[in-house]
Structure 1
């Protein structure tokens, strides 16, 4: 007969079985000296993320010169980044100084659902933005006819609908499994791989379902971005004007950097052989794409996009020249 070391706070009993009601995180580091540094780091990154993404949304909303499909998608990406970071960072900040780094069963399910949905939405938005750049560079004369307001709203709605439905399947699949203990998640947030390791039944079918959905989303995103930029580069190389080439490259450079930073860390965490243990390198990569990348996206577009940079300079000058009442 199996023996379980249980407490009322972490496990409640059903007839003939026990069930985890609270999960605990292993966290980022066991070193007490690192806690203050990590808290300051996460807090500063989160503050910059909020200010940067809200700033992009406000600029696009306030200035009519930015009412174009490119900036509409950029503001949508900023909105996703804002919520995406908020799903992970506040709870991580709270747990850094907590004796028990815990989250309820229902809270873990909600965190996984929104994290998975928003991460998938970000990937589809990045692929949609690559299609927008393809139309702008390869079909500039027909850009306004192809990228209509109705089509842009439709693409955004499609991204959200597909990703939130996919995340619903992920979450239902994972949390339909029995969790009888232990309840320690070897991570700093609720993610699918460490949760599947805690199930007291075979997670094979759940692994297959989530794997198929993730691979399908990844393949679609890879093909969409690769084809878009293949046509973009062919079009750029055919240009006779060096100024035209430089302008075309500058309109794509911000998006290329955002795509590269996001997918490099995602591939490092999820698409390589695992030893079965989440090492510190895996956790640091997770920190990068869950916390740092949402901060970098608005900064990259602000610093590398001339139009956004000029508007930011105008706003700063106006605020500095405004005389107090």
Structure 2
């Protein structure tokens, strides 16, 4: 048993992490900006739930207290719709929040696991990406890159605390994580959400972009491994599936399994959003390091993960009542 804190523990990935940690007997404190929606933490028993703004160090200090052993820092502004609409919040929360989490963890003597993203690689065409590959980004005038840049700065902060202050910390970079509870603003979640409401799925541009979709349970396993392994200290890991799938095929399969309409609604994102938006044609991780150091690899195939997500969605009508927050 360990005392742990999960920032962003009321969100999609965070709530799954809280459940896993609690099920394994840890004493979990959740820090989030609001109470979770009903059912978000079903099955998890969190001894403490602290609400506050992660940019406010004094509020976060109510969660990260002396005696905490591991801080899992997942709090962030996520989603292309939010990158475009709230670039200031994206940068401020992702950067200031990370610094607060690192400083308070250092004061408490805790290890930190910082959740990052495949977005840090930008549009580097040389896939698959290993952890130390170059970042290739577009113009700073393109809001699309605010998230990538803020997360990269959060990584720089983390490495700075590791090398300059001796903090024990690990970075995990998630690649297209999907699963139960994800808000309907992402490729998989939005397709299932629409299919179960009798709406045709949406495909951005031609759907030929490729992704390596990673089921949330696999991502959680990697995150917990990173938090409990001394070999992970000071390291960064790509956390993603090795199965490359076109967005078109993923949408087709999700819609088919959910019993939705076979036809799709094409959306030309450049026509709709102009230069504010830029997509990535291929996003593929080299997760060799995670296997060699942690013994982790993604084990849930896309069909299985989709089926489990759809089964959860059918059993949770409140999720289906959420607003479709995609760019249409």
TM-score for the superposition, normalised by structure 1? 0.25
Relative contact order: is structure 1 or structure 2 higher (C-alpha 8 Å, sep ≥ 6)? 1
Which of structures 1 and 2 has the bigger CA Rg? 1
TM-score for the superposition, normalised by structure 2? 0.25
More helix, by proportion: 1
